[in-house]
Amino acid sequence: MSLLAMFMGKGPSGYGYGTTAEVVTQGLALKGRNFLVTGANSGLGLETVRVLAQRGGRVFATGRTKEKATAAAHRVPGVIVPVECELSDPKSVRGCIAFLKQEGVQLDAIIANAGIMALPELKQAFGYELQFFTNHIGHFMLVTGLLEQLTEKGRVVLVSSDAHKRAPKAGIEFDNLSGERHYSPWRLTDNRNSRISCVPRSSPSACTARAKPPMRCTPA
């Protein structure tokens, strides 16, 4: 256990900073369940794929390219389907949606994990600062495009960070979503803009209003 895990303590769920995915899923039998995990080729995404597959689930693992997704799928055992989904490219996002619909997949959960952060220089996608477009808009297109593929009790998990806690009181700087007025890798208009945008999007009311049948959205 790390020192940080010792000092951070546990939350209301009983889990804390040092809790592993294997501990959280202990006793779960996920055979017959389908999951979509974005950003599956490294970090939290890869570990999430590994443990869901270990528990018997079929995991659709996305990467920015089919090659990266396939490489990730080969790193862990289980039923893992690699899928290309470059979140900063609407065409790629729509392709991912189309593939899952064509396969007739009914998803028990969408885990929106992928994200980029702290780009040293300003980069844009379709006029928006790239972190905001990738982390928020790309996932918004993906999730809303797959609402009909969720099972009756399907859940959407939005992986964010505590960066939103350091955002200005005014919230998202809507007048600078391009990042052109000022840019810093750690400013609100950049990484924190994308993180704070996940908070209202992850509220149950925001999700159930668009979902038929209703489903739960969970910030993580």
Active-site positions?
183
- Distance from C-alpha of 63 to C-alpha of 86, rounded to nearest angstrom: 7
What is the distance between the alpha carbons of residues 98 and 178, in angstroms, rounded to a whole number? Answer: 29
Provide the phi-psi class of 171: left if phi over 0, else alpha when psi is between -120 and 50, else beta. left
Contacts 24+ apart (CB under 8 A), 24-32: 25/51, 25/52, 25/54, 25/55, 28/55, 29/55, 29/56, 30/55, 30/56, 30/57, 31/56, 31/57, 32/56
Closest CA to 43 of 23, 70, 63, 16: 63
